[in-house]
Amino acid sequence: MALSLYPMSDSGTRSRLRYPGAICAEILYVEDSTDDQILAVEAVEATGRPGDLRIVESAVEMWTTLALRLEHGLKLPDVLVVDLRMPKVGGHMLLAKLAEDEELGRIPVVVLSTSEDPEDISLAHINGAVRYETKPHRFRDLVDTWARILDVAER
């Protein structure tokens, strides 16, 4: 099945939807790199599993999207995927803010980062990340990474 690309969703996020209309886990991914966004879409597609991947480009955009959903009583994503290295507001600050919120703090968060620094990994877990994945260099490994993220989303 071909991947459907939607420029904007009703919640204001850029969406890349797989199997539109199918019941599947929704993943909200914050990633500022266009190349990594494209790779994520291709990797989710390559898992062969249904997944609704919505991508925002900044921590502020993710926070705003989640706040609007709460305000309007809309369903929250099944999992959040956070890149740590972003301009302005980094992933660690976003994780801490999510953990402080009673409702948003219940959404599982997976960190997907280039950093292998033990301090980044430790701080991510302290701030509520349920998984920490390092961005792999090979596409096959990226597909496996996104399959693990889908596992978290489907729990």
What are the two backbone dihedrals, phi and then psi, of residue 23, each rounded to the nearest 5 degrees?
-80, 120
pLDDT tens sequence across 50-88? 889 999 988 889 999 999 999 999 999 999 999 888 778
Does the pLDDT value for residue 39 go beyond 90? Answer: yes
Q: What pLDDT does residue 88 have?
A: 81
Q: Determine the structural domain holding residue 66 and report its residue range.
A: 1-75
Measured in Å, how far apart are the chain's first and last C-alpha atoms?
Answer: 25
Number of residues that make up the chain: 155
Counted domains in the chain: 1
What whole-number distance in Å separates Cα of residue 97 and Cα of residue 78?
Answer: 18
- State the DSSP code for 38: H
Residue 102 located in a structural domain:
no
Q: Which of residues 12 and 83 earns the better pLDDT score?
A: 83
Q: Among candidates 30, 131, 40, 83, which has minimal Cα distance to 18?
A: 40
Q: What is the mean pLDDT of residues 132-145?
A: 96
- State the DSSP code for 3: P
Cα angle 122-60-146, degrees, rounded to a multiple of 5: 55
Which residue carries 């926070």 as its tokens?
63
What whole-number distance in Å separates Cα of residue 24 and Cα of residue 50?
Answer: 6
Q: What pLDDT does residue 148 have?
A: 95
pLDDT tens sequence across 88-119? 877 888 899 999 999 999 999 999 999 999 99
Q: What pLDDT does residue 22 have?
A: 56
Residue 129 located in a structural domain:
no
SS3 2: coil
pLDDT tens sequence across 24-37? 889 999 998 999 99
Q: What pLDDT does residue 79 have?
A: 95
Does the pLDDT value for residue 12 go beyond 70? Answer: no
Q: What pLDDT does residue 90 have?
A: 74
Lowest mean pLDDT among 11-20, 96-105, 138-147: 11-20
Report in angstroms the alpha-carbon separations of 66 from 12, 28, 91, 150.
Answer: 10, 9, 15, 19
Residue 121 located in a structural domain:
no
Residue 68 located in a structural domain:
yes
Beta-strand pair 25-30/51-56:
parallel
pTM of this prediction? 0.83
7-11, 21-25, 39-43: which has the highest mean pLDDT? Answer: 39-43
What are the two backbone dihedrals, phi and then psi, of residue 25, each rounded to the nearest 5 degrees?
-70, 140
Residue 40 located in a structural domain:
yes
- State the DSSP code for 30: E
Residue 35 located in a structural domain:
yes
